Structure 1
Amino acid sequence: MTRLAVFDCDGTLVDGQASICEAMEAGFAAADLPMPDRNDIRRMVGLSLPMALAELAPDASEEQRAHAVDAYKESFFTARSEGRVDEPLYDGMKELLHTLRDEGWQLAVATGKSDRGLTAVLAAHGITDLFVSLQTADRHPSKPDPTMLAAAMFDAGAMPEGTVMIGDTTFDIHMGRAARTRCIGVDWGYHETHELIEAGAVGVASTMDELKALIDG
């Protein structure tokens, strides 16, 4: 049976919170919306950008949200082109990915990032070729809808019983549960451990060794 490990990106593979918060603040400023607290922004990481805006600015008009989305994208693109985007891999993640691949796991990403953003961050860390499937919010409904996870399983030729979803937010866990996969949380991201367990994670890792053990089951 094919074994597939599907990773969220921001808050799971990489720590991109600073760049995300800066771009979101640029979007809110451009749309003349009240500035959200950074902790509230971080808690929305993982959702598609339009859905995150809807959660953070529920009283905004559709026109304001659309303007904020465009300004967010422009801000992020400008920051990346100027070398100001900071998205470091979490310590030990690259080694873990190589170990899993060498042990026969298929690897995939399911993320609220755009295609362009995911391509850039994976290329920057030299890990693009480790993944057999890359699924983003550009081509699928936002998490927790399971469509992007189903697409990753299709690409890998995997079944739900052979698939594990790894993420730092309840959005990831709810998506995995909806797709009938095993779900694992990590505590270095943007939602609390108790939230991940309550959402249905079989465990929450604090270290890469713990994550490896949970993935192996």
Structure 2
Amino acid sequence: MSSLGPLRPSPLVDQATAHLREQITQGAWPVGTKIPGETTLAKSLGVGRSTVREAVRTLAATGMLQSRQGAGIFVVADRPQEDWPARLRRAAVTDIYEVRMLIEVQAARLAAERRTEDDITALDAAMAARRAASGWGDAEFVDADIALHRAVVAAAHNPVLTDLFGEFAPALRQGLIDLVDLLDLRAEHPGHGEDTHAALVRAVIEGDGAAAERLTRADLEATLALLRGA
């Protein structure tokens, strides 16, 4: 286990943060324990108290340290918390797709119940754009496909669902582009899945929640099966 020691002049805050993080990850200060005070740490590291304060603030932002009023600074995790976008970038596309199904199947049913005239206009435009993208490259086609699904989710008028879809979409995009290219899905049918998507849009516009839910599930299950077999 490393010990604290004087730091080089620059960049002091980054170095102080790295040293304190190392003490935590290597077990010098186990989870649940209180770390030494600012004065003690500043003396050990050979820096000012303001530098220690910034380093502690940085580690608190990562979820490793927590300030408790009147008690001091405590270790609450021995590893930095990974943010949600980073976890999605690291996740398997099949895992992301399974969660996407949970979101979109429900969203499609709600969209059929809640769609407005503006939503209908947006859905028609998104469907037309997807149809036009049948003559474009794989990336453009996937973008148009995702945009159509985004329009369906938006028509559900649930901001949490909309935000969740927004988080998943970038992580899904490259996996879907790779899938379309790998399996050459558009060789014989450039507008792959057009009939299913047109039926979905029609179900939402007509207010048929059961059909919208069924069509979304069937479409996403078919793609998930392709992803698993790719």
TM bin (shorter chain): under 0.3
| Structure with more helix by fraction | 2
Larger radius of gyration: 2
**Which protein, 1 or 2, shows the higher relative CO under an 8 Å CA cutoff with sep ≥ 6?**
1
**TM superposition score normalised by structure 2:** 0.23
